[in-house]
């Protein structure tokens, strides 16, 4: 296996492929759960026991709002899943600039490390890979905007904290 980073804890290139698979698996499971929940909420909205007795009985209406919200979220996850399935993972060498599909390890002034993956969608998704938490971010997020175009060894400021880019894959 080849590494494309420097620092105390090099990132193995194969790790990014594993992470990509984890993201797809998570989104697939989330989509399945959302579809089931939307169907259950829809069934509750149209169930005969939930037919309103008066104008103040809003159980059916509330259930239909929940069903619509879950269906909308399911469509968002479906689009994200399609984006990740068609995503081509790009290799990064030690001189590369950070862009979409970069797996980046940051080290704070206190020595603590955190790893982020720059994906096309679903920023905020957290996954465990080999016991390490990886945060999915997008290029349009504040952290993503700070990292895009930077290289291994650069320092980035995020809020009051300063991080050095110590790994790039």
* Range scoring the smallest mean pLDDT among 2-6, 100-104, 157-161: 2-6
Helix (H, G, I), strand (E, B) or coil at 117: strand
**16: pLDDT confidence band, cut at 50, 70 and 90?**
very high
Contact criterion met (CB below 8 Å) for 30 and 77? yes
Closest CA to 73 of 37, 46, 102: 37
Rounded to two decimals, the pTM is: 0.82
Contact criterion met (CB below 8 Å) for 121 and 141? no
**Average pLDDT of the chain, as a whole number:** 86
Burial of 160 (0-12, 13-18, 19+ CB in 10 A): exposed
Please give the Cα distance from 75 to 81 (Å, whole number).
10
């Amino acid at each position: 296996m080849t590494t494309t980073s420097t620092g105390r804890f090099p990132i193995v290139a194969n790790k990014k492929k594993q992470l990509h698979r984890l993201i797809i698996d998570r989104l697939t499971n989330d989509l399945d759960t959302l579809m089931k929940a939307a169907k259950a909420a829809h069934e509750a909205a149209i169930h005969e026991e939930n037919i309103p007795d008066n104008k103040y009985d809003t159980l059916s209406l509330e259930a239909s709002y929940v069903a619509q919200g879950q269906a909308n979220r399911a469509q968002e996850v479906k689009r994200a899943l399609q984006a990740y399935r068609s995503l081509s993972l790009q290799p990064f060498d030690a001189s590369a600039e950070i862009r979409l599909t970069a797996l980046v390890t940051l080290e704070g002034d206190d020595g603590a490390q955190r790893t982020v993956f720059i994906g096309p969608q679903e920023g905020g998704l957290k996954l465990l890979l080999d016991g390490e938490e990886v945060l999915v971010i997008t290029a349009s997020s504040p952290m993503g905007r700070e990292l895009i175009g930077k290289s291994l060894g650069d320092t980035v400021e995020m809020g009051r904290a300063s991080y050095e880019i110590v790994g790039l894959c």
